[in-house]
Structure 1
Amino acid sequence: MGLRDHVVVVTGASSGIGRATAEAFARKGSAVVLAARREEALEAAAHACAKHRGARTLVVPTDMTDAKAVEDLARRAVQEFGRIDVWVNNAAVNAFGRFEDVPLEDFRKVLDVNVMGYVHGARAALRVMREQGTGTLINIASIVGAVAQPYSHPYGMSKHAVRGLGSSLRQQLRVEGVKGIEVCTVLPATIDTPHFQQAANYTGRKVVAMPPVYSPERVARAVVRLVRRPRREVVVGPAGRALVRQSRMAPGLAERAMARQTDKTHLSHDEEAPATHGTLHVPAEGEGSVHGGWGGRRRTALRRTAVAAALAGAAVAAGRRATHGPAGA
């Protein structure tokens, strides 16, 4: 069955990675079920998806912390399209601050959305997929699920939990002898989304996207590839892959590097910021957007141009050496 025949549920589809992922599947002609708290933003995302030939959409406003609402999301997807081939758990929130400074209500909210929201999504998806005998569950984690950061304690905890959930589910399906159902985890590096502007913040400093910044479309392409060629875990972004490798070989060094980078580039040293709950308890207004204005696409293009120029220069130099022989020959 090609992606044109797939039914895909995407949570957190109102903006950022979720919205880019919904559009990526719509571009392939899939039926896309869009879920998040903001109906206005979901409608805007669905309108963008519907522009692609063959795409069908269903908007289901859903609070992922509400288990019944998530079950209703799965039920409506099956009622509308007959099945669920792919479920992307993506809805997530963040809170920045010193460990002692983040209000406990905000700490709990991050864990409730980012952990229990994924639990609710996985239960709803797997129930349908077990009946079908096939399906792919994709959980969006983060590189901070491999190397945690200072100032975003609940988020790092939640993303470690997401990796653990994926691993334990794969093992359970294996020991039960279940075939045809895949569980994959995606670990993006810093992505150009509205996530950072919407986070709760108690640091006193403006939160900015920690470079290097990659586009949400890059994550979306990785998610689509996983449906075709499932893998346990995929890291998106070369910088993220380097950090994860370092965390395996020299975890203490990776922690020190992350601590320095976060304090130096993730929190502004020039702009102050008032304490805020962000969008933890009340969703943002408006139609939402894929990008956060951090230049992910532009910076990726510049990096590729620089790499291409370097490779071209190296090729020219190698050609000259081959023509004239090594220096001193």
Structure 2
Amino acid sequence: MTARPDTLQNLVVVVAGASSGFGRGAAVKLAAHGAKVVLAARRKNVLDEIVQEIVASGGTAISVEADVSDVNQVAEIHNAAVGTFNRIDVWVNSVGVGAIGFFWDIPLEDHARVVDVNLKGLIYGAHAALRQFRTQGYGTLVNVGSIDSEVPLALQNTYAATKAGVLSLSRSLNEELRLAGEDDIKVGTIMPWAVDTPWWTHAANYTGHEPRMAMMDDPEIVVDAIVTACLHPKEEQPVGWKAKTSDISHHLMPDLTERLSADIAKKESDKASPRAPNQGAIHQPVQDGLGVDGGIRARMRKEDGR
């Protein structure tokens, strides 16, 4: 039986949600370290450009157009990876859409879409990955959650609920793998603080203001955490001191932590520039917000007069 790889060189990695943000950053960095990367997302033209970038730099990558809320399209990601590289060493579920605002102001169709992508889509990917890993006898599943997985956040209600589900699923899967004697299959969950990626402008937004959050982190620290987790996954991995502090605080003082977090979220939202309610990119992809960085911190400095 093939042993678990211990280097990024020639590692076969599926990255679902690879057209922007963490997924794009992780795919490019993994390829730079010699991994063979399968990029999946809805925006095929963007994925093809990233593949060209990787290949031009001497790397190996293929792209698969897929909406992870469709189980058949997730199967196509799996089939393309195994058909091209004969195995999958790591599956990164970097999928996530959001809807920001008071729960009752967000249309039900947007709540449903967040669940379909963030939870059902992640379940579909996890299922495909774990069945492949059990056939191989090894593998690593990296689920991208959020500090919202631990701390439920006001104005990100259903998003936070799905991210709590991500962490709960990861915990359950690790226990089931232990019970099944699958010692070489691991599941890790990445839990970032608010990070400056295109997620914010792609999210549906019913706050009446541009999206923002206090003390946003740079996406590179999360990209690095994902790359590290491909070889050294942790069941719970808060990223950065703010996420770690919030995680500890919620274990010690849950009600106070939730109240303070809610107050910060509302205060930050009220400081932002006006914006009409919109569905963002959660139902249909848009051709902007293509980078790893979302440019939110730059806008916040202007809004704050800095």
Report the TM-score when normalising by structure 2: 0.93
Deviates more, 1:113-122 or 1:211-220: 211-220
Separation in structure 2 between the aligned mates of residue 34 and residue 177 of structure 1, nearest angstrom = 30
2-side partners of 1:67 and 1:292: how far apart?
29
Q: How much does 1:295 deviate?
A: 4.3
Looking at structure 2, the residues matched to 11 and 228 of structure 1 have their Cα atoms a distance apart, in angstroms, of 17
Q: Deviations over 1:35-78 (max 9, x none)?
A: 0000111112222322444x200100101011011011101100
TM-superposed CA distance for 1:85, in Å, is: 0.3
Separation in 2, partners of 1:234, 1:28: 22
- Would you say 1:221 and 2:224 are equivalent positions? yes
Indicate yes or no: 2:271 matched with 1:251: no
**8 A contact 2:146–2:191 mirrored in 1:** yes
Residue aligning to 2:304: none
Query: Larger deviation: 41-50 or 16-25?
Result: 41-50
Amino acid across the alignment from 2:163: K
1:198 aligns with 2:214: no
Q: How does 1:269-284 map to 2 (within 5 A)?
A: 269-284=271-286
Asked if residue 117 in structure 1 is aligned to residue 127 in structure 2, the reply is no
Q: Offset at 1:211?
A: 2.5
TM-superposed CA distance for 1:287, in Å, is 7.8
Q: Write out per-residue CA displacement over residues 226-273 of structure 1, whole angstroms, 9 at most, x where no aligned residue.
A: 2332321111121111010000011111111101110112x1435211
**Aligned with 1:10 (options 15, 18, 43):** 15
For 1:31, the equivalent position in structure 2 comes to 36
- Matching residue of 2:233: 230
Would the aligned equivalents of 1:40 and 1:287 in 2 still touch at CA under 8 Å?
A: no
Identity %: 38
Provide TM-score, normalisation by structure 1: 0.86
- CA shift in 2, pair 1:71/1:102, >3 Å: same
Aligned to 2:153: 149
1:228 is paired with a residue of what secondary structure? coil
Residue 249 of structure 1 aligns with an amino acid whose one-letter code is L
Displacement of 1:130 after TM fit? 0.7
* In the alignment, structure 1 residue 291 sits paired with structure 2 residue 293: yes
Please give the per-residue CA displacement for 1:191-233, whole angstroms capped at 9, x wherever unaligned: 111111111011112212x132222221121112123323211
State which structure, 1 or 2, has the greater radius of gyration over its C-alpha atoms: 1
Q: Distance in 2 between matches of 1:90 and 1:67?
A: 16
Task: Describe the SS at the equivalent of 1:118.
Answer: helix
- 2:53 alignment partner, SS class: helix
Say whether the 8 Å CA contact 1:207–1:268 is kept in structure 2: no
CA–CA distance in structure 2, aligned partners of residues 199 and 230 of structure 1: 28
Match of 1:56 among 60, 63, 66: 60
User: Aligned residue for 2:130?
Assistant: 126
1:279-307 C-alpha deviation (Å, 9 max, x unpaired): 111101258111101349xx9xxxxxxxx
Specify every segment of 5 or more residues in structure 1 that has no aligned partner in the other structure, as ranges.
300-329
1:46 aligns with 2:51: yes
Structure 1 ranges of 4+ moved more than 6 A: none
Pairwise mapping of residues 92-103 of structure 1 onto structure 2 (< 5 A)? 92-103=96-107
Q: State the AA in 2 paired with 1:72.
A: E
Distance across 1 between alignment mates of 2:233 and 2:275: 42
Could you tell me how far apart the structure 2 residues matched to 1:287 and 1:80 are? 29
State the SS of the aligned residue for 1:285: coil
The amino acid across from 1:37 in the alignment is R
Q: Write the distance in 1 (CA, Å) between the matches of 2:202 and 2:230.
A: 30
Alignment size in residue pairs: 294
